[in-house]
Amino acid sequence: MNPELLQTFLKIVEYKQISQAADSLYITQAAVSNRLRRLESQLGVTLINRLKGQPTVSLTKYGEKLVPIAEQWMQLVNQTTNLKEAANFHNVKVIGAPSINESILCVVCPILMQEDSVLRYSIVGGDADYIYDSVANGTADIGFSFYKMFRHEISTRKISEERLVLVTNNKSEYPDTVSVDMLSRHDEVYMLWNDEFDAWHTMCWDGALQPLITLDSGTLISPYLSFKQAWSLIPETLAHRLLVQDSNLRALRLIEQSPALPVMAVKKKTAALEQQELERLEVKVRSELYKIHQKKIWLFVKKY
């Protein structure tokens, strides 16, 4: 059955007028009438009651029976068309720590999509367990996390590492170089980056003390750093982004060295259908991290 004829019939049913059906299809009324006659001829029945002098039309009993059949047919046509179009794209499902998504993937993925017009991404955020579980069960093709976890069906690769940068606002009274003793836990905008960071943090500050606020996403940090003595330890790519965007922020040198965050690429051990695209994404993320890390020379060090 010709989808074009069924589509025209359904437009007549929708608008109840030949003229409006023609307008919606951007064709002439004569073309609509011709398509309708062809459909009726193929089926051997009359579908529309035609009454002279009346602008609207009504359905015959055959027309009424055809409506649900035509709707189902057109739905199948659309589904098969979408299936064909989807097969022409390389679809990659990515899951990452929010700060990686917001600071790295938002730069890397558009570049790769411009280089490959059939490449498509879906990107979601989550904590470490969710990232590893999603890759393991196939919900995601690749994940990026600050945690290295061991799963039987998962392979991990350290593609880079992020040092933590101490940021505050320009109105704070901190000198350019500070120690942990000079930083009050009550002024901290706190984010748990991974277990190593948590262990180091517990040695430096009393975990029983309440921070200024606890967050799970780096994009939420800026408003809270506006408090006079507020401070936060964040990955350098996120720090780079915030310092460029907000001239009211500055970086400080912390005497005590915090542990660097490993950037782990998480994939299934079995080869994925889009393995080439996963490798390209992994390499590009590593490259972009390297570029941003080099910028610390002029962006951070000059403030120390």
pLDDT in tens, 225-275: 999 999 999 998 889 888 888 889 999 999 999 999 999 999 988 755 567
Domain 3-87 part of CATH 1.10.10.10: yes
Mean local confidence (pLDDT), 172-183:
95
pLDDT at 140: 92
pLDDT at 134: 93
Q: 187 pLDDT band (50/70/90 cuts)?
A: very high
Helix or strand or coil: residue 90?
Answer: strand
Q: Which token pair is 202?
A: 């517990």
**Which of helix, strand or coil describes residue 138?**
coil
Higher pLDDT, 116 or 58: 58
Question: Among 97-101, 173-177, 294-298, where is mean pLDDT lowest?
Answer: 294-298
Q: What is the number of other CB atoms lying within 10 angstroms of the CB of residue 141? A: 23
Q: What pLDDT, on a 0 to 100 scale, did the predictor assign at position 82?
A: 65
What pLDDT, on the 0 to 100 scale, is given for residue 146?
94
DSSP 3-state of 145:
strand
Give me the pLDDT at residue 66, please: 94
* pLDDT of 33 higher than 50: yes
Going by pLDDT thresholds of 50, 70 and 90, the confidence category of residue 83 is low
Residue boundaries of the structural domains of the chain: 3-87, 90-161+261-292, 163-254
> Which pLDDT score, from 0 to 100, does residue 112 have?
86
Rounded Cα gap, residues 113 and 121, in angstroms: 8
Structure tokens at 33: 């009438």
d(CA 135, CA 190): 28
Contact, 242 vs 222, CB < 8 A? yes
CATH of 163-254, picked from 3.10.105.10, 3.30.70.100, 3.40.640.10, 3.40.190.10, is 3.40.190.10
**Model confidence at 286: pLDDT above 90:** no
Sequence letter at residue 173: E
Three-state secondary-structure class, residue 54: coil
Per the structure block, which two tokens stand in for 236?
Answer: 């350098």
**13 by DSSP, 3-state: which?**
helix
- What are the backbone dihedrals phi and psi of residue 165, each rounded to the nearest 5 degrees, phi first? -115, 135
> Between 3-15 and 29-43, two packed helices, what is the crossing angle to 10 degrees?
120
CA separation for the pair 234, 167 (Å, rounded): 8
| Mean pLDDT score of the chain | 87
What's the confidence (pLDDT) of residue 298?
40
Confidence class for position 303, pLDDT limits 50, 70, 90: very low
- Judge if 90-161+261-292 and 163-254 fold alike in CATH terms: yes
- Which of 76-90, 227-241, 287-301 has the least mean pLDDT? 287-301
pLDDT at res. 296: 54
Identify whether the C-beta of residue 265 lies closer than 8 Å to the C-beta of residue 104: no
Q: What is the pLDDT of residues 40-56, one digit of tens each?
A: 999 999 999 987 777 78
Rounded to whole angstroms, the Cα distance separating 301 from 296 reads 7
Q: In CATH, what is the architecture of 90-161+261-292?
A: 3-Layer(aba) Sandwich (3.40)
Distance CA(94)–CA(280), nearest Å, equals 13
- pLDDT at 300 exceeding the cut of 50: no
Enter the pTM of the model: 0.65
Q: Which two tokens stand for residue 108?
A: 């890397």
